[in-house]
A and B are shown apart, each in its own frame.
Chain A
Amino acid sequence: MRRLVPLVLAACAVAGPALAQDSAQDGSKAVGAASEAATLLGASGVKTAVGVSAVPVSVAAGGASAVGAAGASVAVGGTSAAADLSKAADVSAKTALKVDDDVVVAADPAPKVPYQPAKK
């Protein structure tokens, strides 16, 4: 622990320059990342899709009408959906999982909540 104090001080001494490195720059780029990413990918010929929800496979397999109802129960943590999943895992474990080519981009870059840092 004694060694930690000088190390902390040393880190503080370089903290300013270090923060100016890639990660800080990238942080500013993160705003609007979803639309930017979709544009970049599209320009490169990558097939993209904007994802609006991810639902358990067994729920989706139940048909379009079931998606909404079962999806809602998943959102509130329905245990029946969990049970369905277990069954689905048993049944479809025998078949290879398929992955589509679309690169899914999130629709919303970040949760939008009112938050104001305390002013000093």
Chain B
Amino acid sequence: MKRLIAAILAGCLAVAAVPAAAQDSSARAVAAHFTAPEAAAFSKQIERDLAAKDARVALVFRTGRARDKLPEGIAYTHGALWVYRTIQTADGRSVAGYAVYNLYAGDGPNWPRTESRLIQDYPFDFTRGSAVDDVAVIIPSPEMQRRMLAVIDGPGYARLHNPAYSLVANPWSRKYQNCNNFMLNVVGAAAWETDDPARLTANFKAHFQPTVVKASGVMRLFGPIADQRLRTDDQKGPIRTATYESISAFMRQNGLLQEAYALNFRRP
């Protein structure tokens, strides 16, 4: 049945021969929701909120699609790690703030859509891709922040990355990965102090409860942008994937969390 659905999708896309839309997890995604100054103001608001909470590492989530187009139980479509850094600028200054560590899928022309890369950019890049006035934030516990920093700046970070990309990658399988699954792997590597993908996947299967996306929700979320990134052959039964909701629940249940909340843009 899954093959049939994939074939139907592929056929539709071939017939339609339409250009692929910018996916939310594409590098440099820009939504029409914010003007550049608004996106800048929102990015600073998030940075200051994180700094006030002493967050050296946080998981931040945005949605690149309007809420009424998201399936039940999913409020955000892209997540990345925000890390407190000293940023060296082109004019030789040092700026204190956050850098953003993303897993981005290819956009086609630059690299294949079914392949992801780990790319670091900045908070402004993140908020420019938001289609709504809020983001969600997970601040790990202080001990988890320390461990996650060690993972991010250590050799294990790259080892956690699986470049085979699917929009709805199953965290119980290693076959594909998306942005949220990658962050979940960083959390897992910090929690269990291992960067062995096999052990992490086994632990996720035992302890992590993914979000189950209803079939109708999958098409609602990804129908308009369905292309070869919608790969479901890693799923057995319902479609399971990692989301803000499931990652925050997992971290809360296991004492890995300082705080999880939604942050609304304060418009001037």
For chain A, the count of residues having a C-beta within 8 Å of the partner chain is 78
**How far apart are the CA atoms of A4 and B6 in the complex, in Å?**
11
Contact for A99 among B16, B24, B44, B131, CB less than 8 A = B44
Q: Which residues of B approach A to under 8 Å, CB–CB?
A: 1, 4-5, 8-9, 11-13, 16, 18-24, 26-32, 35-37, 40, 43-44, 47-48, 50-52, 54-56, 64-65, 83-91, 93-99, 107-112, 117, 119-125, 128, 131, 142, 145-146, 149-151, 153-158, 215-216, 218-219, 223-226
Q: How far is the CB of B71 from chain A (nearest CB, A)?
A: 11
- Determine whether A65 belongs to the interface, using a CB cutoff of 8 Å to chain B: no
> B54, A93: Cβ atoms under 8 Å?
yes
> A111, B110: Cβ atoms under 8 Å?
yes
Contact for B22 among A24, A49, A83, CB less than 8 A = A24
27 contacts between A and B (CB under 8 A): A3-B215, A4-B5, A11-B219, A12-B223, A15-B18, A15-B226, A21-B21, A22-B131, A23-B21, A23-B29, A23-B64, A26-B22, A26-B29, A27-B22, A30-B26, A33-B30, A54-B88, A77-B157, A86-B146, A89-B149, A96-B52, A96-B54, A98-B96, A99-B97, A104-B123, A109-B27, A111-B111
> B8, A14: Cβ atoms under 8 Å?
no
Interface residues of A in 62-93 (CB under 8 A from B): 67, 74, 76-79, 81-83, 85-86, 89-90, 93
Q: How far is the CB of A34 from chain B (nearest CB, A)?
A: 8
